Amino acid sequence: MTNFLVNILGPTAIGKTSLSIKVARHFNTEIISADSRQFYKEMKIGTAVPENFELEQAPHHFIQHISVEDNYSVGDFEREAMARLEQLFESHELVVMVGGSGLYVKAVTEGLDDFPEVDPEIRPRLNRHLEEEGIDWLQQRLFALDPEYYKTADVQNPHRLIRALEICISTGKPFSTFLNKEKEKRNFKTVSIGLTADREKIYERINRRVDIMMENGLLEEAKALYPKRQLNALNTVGYKELFRYFDGEWDLETAVAEIKKNSRRFAKRQLTWFRKDENIKWFAYDDEPQKIFDYIEKEINTYK
């Protein structure tokens, strides 16, 4: 029997959670979250963790399962998600995976590139450079050490820059030399569904979501996390802007405007990543779910 992993992809605030639950209910299956921001139990409001009534509609995995203080990598997620999938495929022909974290999705569907161990002292040093000199310093350093990877990297993402730099510095070799090696074959077929809308609609949905987060208590959630602001998990949109408000750098109106702006930028990066994948079938965010169910069933039937 062939097993299938249905990926629900797309930019932030497009409606992935709602669709993934509908797909899971239609196919009587379970959901794996590949949204790396929703892994952390202390970050509920600012990462748009599904509401309790949504979680009750279908079993979810990898939602708020670790702490911001835990060291948890994309490699950890790949290993744990593959083990969970193996369990789920014993009782389900099809499993749903949902998320906007492209690298985490890729880790499950294709496997990660094989990177060497790195000196653990390098990352804290790079984080200090980021804090003191800004992202420009990381970008310039990566360009100097690995111009090939720099051409395709998401150079606005400090996590990606730091990961590449720690490999370059630890090994003395360009990060790009470790990419695109042959990976393990997966024992399931992947069906990828992308949700999208025109840019104005995506931005409108993002702005509204941020307003709702603020109404639901994001300020208080961020304040509780403020003493831990140096943790890597908290260097993320929705929290880092409010930390600057607590620092007295910005007023609250400016901080909220920055959350909206950075969320829009994040959505743009997500779309850029996903649009490189020719295997994604794109649907409008407001298409009838039945249209998507029919497409999934057609794809499954091609293997029968």
Q: Is 12 annotated as a binding residue?
A: yes
Q: Is 16 annotated as a binding residue?
A: yes
Q: Is 144 annotated as a binding residue?
A: no
Residue 150 tokens read as 């720099």
Nearest to 97 by CA among 33, 54, 52, 147: 33
Beta bridge partners of residue 4, listed in sequence order:
94, 189
Q: What DSSP character marks residue 4? A: E
Q: Is 13 annotated as a binding residue?
A: yes
Separation between Cα atoms, residue 265 and residue 35, nearest integer Å = 17
Instruction: List the 60-61 sheet strands across, edge first.
Output: 60-61, 31-33, 94-98, 4-9, 189-196, 280-284
Q: Is 99 annotated as a binding residue?
A: no
DSSP letters for 163-178: HHHHHHHHHSS-GGGG
22-27's contacts with Cβ under 8 Å and 24+ in sequence apart are: 22/289, 23/96, 23/193, 23/289, 23/292, 23/293, 23/296, 24/57, 24/58, 24/59, 24/96, 25/57, 25/58, 26/289, 26/293, 27/92, 27/94, 27/96, 27/293, 27/296
Contacts of 154 (CB under 8 A, 6+ apart): 160, 269, 272, 273
Q: Is 248 annotated as a binding residue?
A: no
Q: Is 196 annotated as a binding residue?
A: no
Residue 109 burial (C-beta neighbours within 10 Å; 0-12, 13-18, 19+) = middle
Q: Is 174 annotated as a binding residue?
A: no
User: What residues are designated binding site for substrate?
Assistant: 12-17
User: What residues are designated binding site for ATP?
Assistant: 10-17
User: What residues are designated binding site?
Assistant: 10-17
